[in-house]
């Protein structure tokens, strides 16, 4: 047996010694072409994409609504944030009615998902794409009233201006002073239906409290909903009500 292994070893050694050296192909350096304004336009390519470009620009620059005030996302009760939270609730409510589901009680979205603001004047399609460039969808989370305490504790701890709809939260130094849905106290044993984004429902922005609920997927893209809502409202009436109150607020980095 030992001779068998010896023969195998000799054979492998002979094979390895017979290998020829790898030859390296000649390498030629090419000139880098920088993409800048000085680069000549490819006229053939430009002519192909021209009609598509014109169609896209036409759609993006189409007026869909109007606002007499700037729509911003700054502050604890930003008018754009509250408006989009209201639209989220409305869209979820329409879906619930169509699919014979319970009514939606409230909505929560994240201010970080609002990527731009809308200035006073005409609102164009492209503005909604700038505000909401992501592909987030609306989901509905069914939660017991007792589990909603995690939501209120989240706002008390973080004091972050994530917009809400049909919710009122007042805190002071990390303690919840008042909490209500539709102006009513929370019923611990009742089921509540909260509209939010799939990002938040899955724990985004540290909203782990949603994990205690049951998710219902709507398939509604938030951007598509917002486009529809702005088109349905030729004159935007921005919300001015107070929903989040952070007393003795610590200095944190709200959007």
Kindly report, residue by residue over 186-219, the tens digit of the pLDDT.
999 999 999 999 999 999 999 999 999 999 999 9
Q: Given a cut of 50, is residue 16 above it in pLDDT?
A: no
Nearest to 110 by CA among 205, 11, 6, 234: 205
Q: Given a cut of 60, is residue 79 above it in pLDDT?
A: yes
Query: What residue has token string 């935007």?
Result: 236
Give the whole-number percent of the chain exceeding pLDDT 70.
Answer: 76
- For 21-36, how does the pLDDT look when each residue is reduced to its tens digit (9 = 90+)? 445 555 566 666 666 6
Angle between helices 79-98 and 222-232 (to 10 degrees): 100
Average pLDDT across the chain, whole number: 87
Q: Given a cut of 70, is residue 50 above it in pLDDT?
A: no
Contacts of 240 (CB under 8 A, 6+ apart): 79
- For 123-170, how does the pLDDT look when each residue is reduced to its tens digit (9 = 90+)? 999 999 999 999 999 999 999 999 999 999 999 999 999 999 999 999
Q: Given a cut of 80, is residue 101 above it in pLDDT?
A: yes
Going by their DSSP bridges, the two strands 191-197 and 164-165 should be labelled as unpaired
Query: What residue has token string 């917009």?
Result: 163
**SS3 (DSSP) at 239:** coil
3-state percent helix, strand, coil for the chain, nearest multiple of 5: 40, 25, 35
Q: Residue 37: its pLDDT value, please?
A: 67
Do residues 137 and 221 touch, judged by C-beta distance below 8 A?
Answer: yes
Query: What residue has token string 């989370």?
Result: 141
Residues making up the chain, counted from first to last: 255
Nearest to 230 by CA among 93, 94, 129: 129
The overall pTM is greater than 0.85: no
Beta strands in the chain (DSSP E): 63-67, 106-108, 121-124, 137-144, 164-165, 167-172, 175-181, 191-197, 214-221, 235-236, 244-247
């Amino acid at each position: 047996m030992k001779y068998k292994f010896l023969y195998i070893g000799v054979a492998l050694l002979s094979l390895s010694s017979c290998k020829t050296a790898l030859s390296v192909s000649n390498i030629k350096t090419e000139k880098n072409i920088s993409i800048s304004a000085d680069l000549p336009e490819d006229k053939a390519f430009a002519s192909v994409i021209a009609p598509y470009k014109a169609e896209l620009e036409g759609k993006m620059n189409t007026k869909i609504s109007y606002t007499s005030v700037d729509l911003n996302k700054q502050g604890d009760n930003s008018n754009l944030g509250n408006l989009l939270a209201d639209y989220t609730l409305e869209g979820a409510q329409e879906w619930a009615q169509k699919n014979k589901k319970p009514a939606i009680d409230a909505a929560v979205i994240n201010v970080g998902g609002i990527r731009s603001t809308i200035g006073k004047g005409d609102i164009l399609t492209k503005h909604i794409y700038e505000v909401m460039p992501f592909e987030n969808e609306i989901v509905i989370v069914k939660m017991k009233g007792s589990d909603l305490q995690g939501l209120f504790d989240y706002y008390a701890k973080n004091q972050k201006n994530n917009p809400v709809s049909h919710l009122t939260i007042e805190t002071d130094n990390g303690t919840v002073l008042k909490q209500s849905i539709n102006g009513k106290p929370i019923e611990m044993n009742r089921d509540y239906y909260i509209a939010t984004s799939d990002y938040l429902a899955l724990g985004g922005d540290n909203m782990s409290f949603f994990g205690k609920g049951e998710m219902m997927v709507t398939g509604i893209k938030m951007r598509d909903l917002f486009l529809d809502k702005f088109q349905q409202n030729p004159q935007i009436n921005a919300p001015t009500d107070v929903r989040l109150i952070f007393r003795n607020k610590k200095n944190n980095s709200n959007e």
